[in-house]
Structure 1
Amino acid sequence: MPAALTTLITTPTFARHSTRPWQILEEAGAGPLRPYADAALPTDELVKYAAEADALIVGMDQITAEVMDAAPRLKVIAKHGVGVDTIDVAAAHARGILVVCAPGSNSRAVAEYTFGLLLSAARSLTASHTAVAAGGWPKLFGPELHGRTLGVVGFGRIGRLLAGYARAFGMELLAHDPYVADADMRAQGAEPAALDTLLACADAVSLHTPPDPSGAPLLDRARLAAMKPGAILVNAARGGLVDELALADLLSSGHLGAAALDAFSTEPLPADHPLREAPRTLLTSHMAACTPEANQAMGSMVAEDVVRVLTGRTPQHAVN
């Protein structure tokens, strides 16, 4: 592989907890370049730096046809993670650019974090911490999870792991995923259900599915209003899955019991966003995948596939 090849890295979390991904690129002569070590690359600078890139390793950046057209040398786009909804995959394929990701690399991290969000929301852990740190000493009540029903929307790797944690707490399980056979759900202890049935019956709902390509939220105002009164909503997947304004309204009205969110339609969350003031709400900074173990696995997987593509070999984790 020619020494002049360049891999542009736009995500600040790449290889934060392991030197191995850097070594993979450097040993292959793939010229890793990360303009910002502690922040994502601004869009205008992304276009500028992409002009010299043979490979991109990206996070939540929007990789559009415009970005690709500014990068005539580009051969591969690697998602430092799993979901590729921020990449125009069709445009990439039309230009002969491969797209790769790191499936399974962060599944356990996200599933564990999601269950932590659920438990924290149910028992008001962050509200208690905030009050105690401010000098208070409240006794906040919340439901036990044992015997409650968890609805899992999206029953892939993360959804199945979450289901296992919920079973260990004695929860009943409903699952919705049009791409998974009913028998597979039942084998994991979950009863298959239509989405609207799940929303009406579950005491807590957790989302683990990509957003609709149209941009329409999976849980719009009508579906949020149709959730079981007092239910908890957990979203550690994508912000576009939920009508956030409607969610804030339904929390304020008391229809929903709580919400715990790690993903938002706009990130960082705007200062005037209504969810900041909504009651019984736990908000975190899209960090469910942030474990050293997942970080090392993601970095190594995408670096290895970048090198495979740049050396004319077939990647192991190509996105169709």
Structure 2
Amino acid sequence: MATGARRVVVTQRFFDEASLAYLRGAGCEVAIAELPAGRADGDLSEDELVALLQGAEGWIVGHARVTRELLAALPELKIVSRRGVGYERVDLQAARDLGRVVTIAAGGNDASVADQAIGMMISVGRRFGEAQARMRAGSWSILMGTDLYRKTVGVIGLGRIGRSLVQRLSGFEARVLVVSSRPDPAYAARTGVSFVDLPALLAESDYVSVHAPLTPATRHLLRAETLAAMKPGAFVINTARGGLVSDRDLLAALKAGHLGGAGLDVFESESDPDMQPVTDELIALPNVVAAPHAGASTREGLDRTNMIASQCVVAVLDGRDAPTQCVVADGRVGIPAE
């Protein structure tokens, strides 16, 4: 690599060769962090991150917390490029104040997460996990399941993943109810979905799938009172963010028999270790299908998000604008703050 190459640090596993070649071809010196076994970048301390990122102009990041203090300790860092679409762990105002750019890999994992939501609906409705556990124990008795076909599905949030889910649900001839801060009559006419308020969605849906960003307004959107308002026997699917659902209240609703089950890829314990006992109880329930925040982790999905994250890095290091849909904060001189 020629002297003067722009240093880019990747603190994520599963970074593919095509994305690596793209960065190197754009004149970047790429360092892929060797993370300790069993730890992701979100588990690293600020001191560990600073040591890894010294001299870096670009950072392709997973779930690490990007604080004002961390950014201030890395004066050469120009762009924080999320290989994903959530950015609640990034201090966006600090990035703007300090002249940095923050991007997300918009459009890279929509299909992967929507596929997972469908898979969880079918798995928990048809009781696949319970059936396999019984077979392993020697019992081949048949458990009665629930169809997804022609059921009412409530979709909370209609961003890219929510729309991908709606597209897939059409194949099941599902009746789709949507809660969104921006109802779209043209979209409703085109797809047949119905925009409703949250009480109506909860009362009528057989499956409720959450696809909203985690903000102070959406934290514990599904909690004791809203879970109690759901149709008896309904299923909760959360592939978005831990904290949108009160895991403690969901556990109580499942143990009480009010809900039929849940499909969970995200948990409050990811950001609050004190919630780990609740997570452990949830994943031990026979009517819960769980995954370790793996909705975007397909070969194809990671290849797409790696490349989008890399393209954002190169654009900013070249002095250009990253794709508009990817930019969540831009503090460069002459660029209006969001």
TM-score normalised over the length of structure 2:
0.88
What's the CA shift string for 1:71-118, capped at 9, x where partnerless?
A: 111100001012222211221111110011211111111111110000
Which one is further off, 199-208 or 137-146? 137-146
Question: Residue in 2 aligned with 1:293?
Answer: 300
Residue 96 of structure 2 corresponds to residue 90 of structure 1: no
Equivalent residue letter for 1:189: G
What is the RMSD of the two structures over their aligned residues, measured on CA atoms? 2.0
Which one is further off, 105-114 or 214-223? 214-223
Which residues in structure 2 correspond to 1:66-105 (within 5 Å)?
A: 66-105=69-108
CA distance in 1, matches of 2:97, 2:199: 37
Residue 207 of structure 2 corresponds to residue 210 of structure 1: no
Gaps of 5+ in 1: none
Which one is further off, 23-32 or 281-290? 23-32
2:121–2:148 Cα contact (<8 Å) kept: no
CA distance in 2, matches of 1:215, 1:9: 30
Question: Residue in 1 aligned with 2:154?
Answer: 151
CA distance in 1, matches of 2:68, 2:167: 40
CA distance in 2, matches of 1:86, 1:153: 22
1:221–1:246 Cα contact (<8 Å) kept: yes
2:12–2:33 Cα contact (<8 Å) kept: no
Question: Residue in 2 aligned with 1:46?
Answer: 49
Residue 3 of structure 2 corresponds to residue 26 of structure 1: no
CA distance in 1, matches of 2:81, 2:123: 34
Aligned CA distance change for structure 1 residues 186 and 229 (closer, same or farther; 3 Å) = farther
1:270 corresponds to which of 276, 295, 303: 276
Which one is further off, 84-93 or 38-47? 38-47
Aligned CA distance change for structure 1 residues 221 and 179 (closer, same or farther; 3 Å) = same
Aligned CA distance change for structure 1 residues 286 and 65 (closer, same or farther; 3 Å) = same
Question: Residue in 2 aligned with 1:8?
Answer: 9
Which one is further off, 246-255 or 296-305? 296-305
1:121–1:258 Cα contact (<8 Å) kept: yes
| Identical pairs, percent | 34
Gaps of 5+ in 2: 329-337
CA distance in 1, matches of 2:173, 2:26: 50
CA distance in 2, matches of 1:140, 1:153: 30
Shift of 1:7: 1.4
Shift of 1:314: 1.7
Aligned CA distance change for structure 1 residues 63 and 215 (closer, same or farther; 3 Å) = farther
CA distance in 2, matches of 1:145, 1:304: 38
CA distance in 1, matches of 2:3, 2:211: 41
CA distance in 1, matches of 2:129, 2:269: 23
Equivalent residue letter for 1:278: L
CA distance in 1, matches of 2:77, 2:176: 45
Residue 126 of structure 2 corresponds to residue 123 of structure 1: yes
CA distance in 2, matches of 1:104, 1:73: 28
Aligned CA distance change for structure 1 residues 180 and 21 (closer, same or farther; 3 Å) = farther
The ranges of structure 1 where at least 4 consecutive aligned residues each deviate by more than 6 angstroms after the TM superposition are: none
Shift of 1:278: 3.4
TM-score normalised over the length of structure 1:
0.92
1:211–1:217 Cα contact (<8 Å) kept: no
Question: Residue in 2 aligned with 1:188?
Answer: 191
What's the CA shift string for 1:12-34, capped at 9, x where partnerless?
A: 23x2xx31111122223322222
What's the CA shift string for 1:172-200, capped at 9, x where partnerless?
A: 11011112423323422211101121111
Aligned CA distance change for structure 1 residues 201 and 95 (closer, same or farther; 3 Å) = same
Equivalent residue letter for 1:318: V
Equivalent residue letter for 1:291: T
